[in-house]
Each structure stands twice: as structure tokens, then as C-alpha cells.
Amino acid sequence: MAVDWQAYRNQDFYDELVDSRGRIRAPARELMTYLDSLSTEEIRERQRAADLAILEMGITFTVYSEGENIDRSWPYDIIPRIIDAATWNEVDAGLRQRVKALNLFIADIYGEQAVIGDGVFPRALLDNSANFRPECVGIKPPQGVWAHICGSDLIRDHQGRFMVLEDNLRVPSGVSYMMENRVLTKRVFGELFENTSIQPVGNYPTRLFDMLAALSPRPMDYPEVVVLTPGIYNSAYFEHSFLAQHMGAELVEGKDLVVGGDDCVYMRTIDGPRRVDVIYRRIDDLFLDPEVFRKDSVLGVPGLMRAWSKGNVGLANAPGAGVADDKVVYAFVPDFIRYYLGEEPILPNVPTYRCYLDDERDYVLEHLDELVVKPANESGGYGMLIGPSATKKDRNAFARLIRKDPRNYIGQPLVRLSTVPTVTDGQVEPRHVDLRPFILQGDDMYVTPGGLTRVALRRGSTVVNSSQGGGSKDTWIVDDSRKDTS
């Protein structure tokens, strides 16, 4: 028996593939026609085949639970998410605009701080920023770019409108899973790629390497690029090794690198020290250099900040870029776009209440049962309150936290996230999704066509993080003018 799309239809939310009357949306017709040719059991069998392939390929992520590191297979759903190219073109333009403004803001904050002098951004927020690094003031990285790799989280509301939920500018992760999702989907639905025009994502490692290579202080066709990882126990280690392998770069830990007397960085090899030109670092600022930040760090490289500040090594993302990776700073991004670019934002923010402002804090405290409350610098879905589903005890506890440290909290309405068909317990049901595209900025800019779609696998849940029980899907940007090549 095939899927009954009339029975599937979802009246309460915007479903991206099926409208409220149960009709297939135009970009998804080819996919849905194909799914209609499969019985429910055949769909289940393909999901089982994908799950087995994930085990064979060793695609994992790590969950930190009760003091233990637990490796789990990557949760993947076989039914792809489809976005039409015309809609995506607008999203692409909005992401480029946003990342450009964010980099101008970061450069300004570590430079003249005109944005503060002109009254666009409050100095008090900078003084209380967890990710502002005074050690970076006055440094000018190559091309004026601080956040070379950005992962912005997008959602679609009940009208299907894309909105930015947050920006990840420190060490954004997930791009390897985006690529592996495409590989898995080709294994499961290979026939569809013969007749459907889907924009490719497989060239991301090449784009990433080219962007990193352009940061090299030495003019070389193939500079020495390394990926700096905290090690095998990090939750994103799979991605670190994946990207290093696909770029042809060395995967290193801090103990593999040393800063020489010439303030250049060298990699220890069996043939002796080899100079490193660019470091794609996947460890947080505070662990990068024990001479400057945390003295007890064994993950970083003593002297690395000195080498970087003197222009002897490229670092991506640059230390200090996290000053803009703050949910309170996020609320100002539309203002940054107007201030630095003289343009209106293409992609809107989710309405945001800043608890450091008395009137907005009062509103949040009075409407805790309606809002989502988030701390400024947490990630992975941790430390947040989903008011409508929280207990009165939890809301009261959060009210105390907000009053104690209002700078650290924002409130947002609970957006009715869009849904897509998802295989759950052998059935196809709607599940909520978000999207993390990846944006590279160097001499030029590149936006992944689509990105990592994360899906809330539990019925009714809006929490999509894999660490909180979420999964993922392949994301297709369907364009009739070109064929998939990756």
C-alpha cells in the first residue's frame, strides 16, 4: 500500500511538500510520484537499508551523557526535503548579505568600534560579552575576514517564510553530515537523480580548501593546510577527520604543532618539522594558546596567537569571531545590515526580546508560558526553556535566572516550524525541521545549495538537535535548468 497523502495532510503547520488540502507542491511532484510507486513496506525497507549503510560507513556523532561519551549512529531519514531554486536564490542572497555585515561588525569591534560610537550597538553588551577577546584588538586578519565559515540556522514559519534563528560563527559543525546525507540518498533513491535536477553539494571540500589556502602567508599553489581537532573524544571528531580527508589536509592535535623561534608554526613529522601555513581550527578560543588564554589547556599550541598576530599563519575562524556568535548580538544583525551595508535585511530575524532591557524583560517574565527563552552563548539545544511545554516549577526557576543575569537571556515566540514527510516507526508522518546552510567567505563567497536539514523525530517536538533526539535529511534545491553532478 502506498502513502495516502490525503490522510497525511497537516492543517496546523506549513508542510513543505504537501499543502493543507493534501495536494503535492510543484517542486516535489517528481519525488512524490516516485514515492507513490512504492508500498509502505518498500519505504520501510529502504529506511532499514540506509540505517545499515550508516553503520557500515561509520557515520557517528557523540553524545555527552552523565559524564560518559557515547558514540551513536547518525540519525537519518530517507525522504529528502525539497526547496525550489527561486525560493533558494532569495535565501542565498540573504545569507550573503548577513555574513558580510557580521564580518564588518567583528572587524569594527576589534578596530575603531564606530558601531558603538554611533549608538547602533551598546557598549555595555560588549563589556559583558563572553566571547569578546581583548587580545584580538588591533589585529587585521587577511582579507578583513574574521568568520570564514558560518552556519546560520534557518526556519520556515506557518506561512512558509524563511527566517534566521541564529548564527554560528565559532566552530560551526554539520557540513560533513550534509554531504553524507547526499551519498546515502543516492544509494537509496539512485533512480531519482537520473531525472531530477538537483544542485550539487559535493564540491564543498574543494571550496573550503580554496578559501583556506587563500589565507596562506606564503604565495604557494598548495600551502600546508591542517585541521586542528581536540581529539577523538570530541563530539564532532567524525567531521574533523572527514573534512581533512576530503581536502587532502593533515588532521592534527595541538601536541603535533609547535611555534618556532621565528614565530612560525611547524608540524612534527617523521621527516622533521614542516611549516604550516593555515590552520582550520575546530577548538574554542580559550583552548587555542595557553600562553594567552587558559593556562591549563593541553589542546592548543603555545605561541599560536603570536604567530597569527604577526601574519605568519592563517587561522579560520579567526580568534574572537565568536563576539558575534551571541544570541543577544543576533538581535542587532538587522541593524548591522542597515548600518554597514545601507540595505534592508533580505532574511528577517525571529522576533526577539532582549532581557537586559527593562520593558522587554518584563514582557518575557509575564509571558514565560508562551515564549522560548535561550541563554546567550549555549548551543546544541542546552539551557533553554520552551515555555508552552514547561512546568510552572521550571518557568519559575528560569524567571530567577533571568532576574539574576538579564544580559544572558533572550525570549522568542515559539515559531510554528514547517514540517516535511518523515519515516517514523514504519509510517510516513509530518515532522518539524530547521536548516543549517554553510557560508564560506574569503576573497569571494560561497553558500551551500541547501544545507543540513535537521528533523525533530519525536511527534510534536520542535527540538531538532541530534544531541536532543533529532535526526537529519538530505536537502534538495530543485532547479530545472541544471543536472546534479555530485
Helices (H), 173-272: 175-188, 192-195, 204-213, 237-247
- Which domains, and CATH codes, for the chain? 351-414 (3.30.1490.270)
SS3 call for 168: strand
Position 64 pLDDT exceeds 70? no
Mean pLDDT along residues 175-199: 89
pLDDT given for residue 394 in this prediction = 93
Note the helical H segments in 324-468: 327-330, 333-336, 358-366, 392-404
Q: Any residues with CB less than 8 A from the CB of 395 and at least 6 apart, and which?
A: 368, 369, 385, 387
Query: What are the Cα distances from residue 178, in Å, to 36, 450, 461?
Result: 26, 9, 22
DSSP 340: I
For residue 486, is pLDDT > 60?
Answer: no
Q: For 298, which DSSP code? A: S
pLDDT higher than threshold 50 for residue 1:
no
CA 114, CA 90: separation in Å to the nearest integer?
Answer: 30
CA distance linking residue 346 with residue 192, whole number of Å: 33
Cα within 13 Å of Cα(457), Cβ side: 19
User: What is the average pLDDT score of the chain?
Assistant: 90
Q: Which of 4-18, 84-98, 189-203 has the highest mean pLDDT?
A: 84-98
Q: 167-185, pLDDT tens digit by residue?
A: 999 989 999 999 999 998 9
Q: What integer is the mean pLDDT of 225-232?
A: 96
Q: What angle do CA 423, 424, 428 make, to 5 degrees?
A: 50
With a cut of 80, say whether residue 66 has pLDDT above it. Answer: no
Return the higher-pLDDT residue of 243 and 427: 243
What average pLDDT score do residues 280-307 get?
96
The cell numbers describing 10, all together, are 497537516
Query: Is the C-alpha dihedral spanning 412, 413, 416, 422 positive or negative?
Result: positive
User: 37: which 3 cell numbers?
Assistant: 510507486
Q: How confident is the model at residue 16 (pLDDT cuts 50, 70, 90)?
A: very high
Residue 441 is predicted with a pLDDT of: 96
Residues 6+ apart with CB under 8 A from 442: 143, 145, 148, 210, 211, 214, 215
Q: Read off the C-alpha cell for 463.
A: 527540538
Residues 44-64, mean pLDDT to the nearest whole number: 76
Q: Is the dihedral of CA 273, 277, 282, 288 positive or negative?
A: positive
Q: Do 458 and 464 meet the contact criterion of CB atoms below 8 Å apart?
A: no
- pLDDT digits 0-9 by tens, 335-349: 999 999 999 999 999
Does 484 have pLDDT greater than 60? Answer: no
> Residue 462: what pLDDT?
76
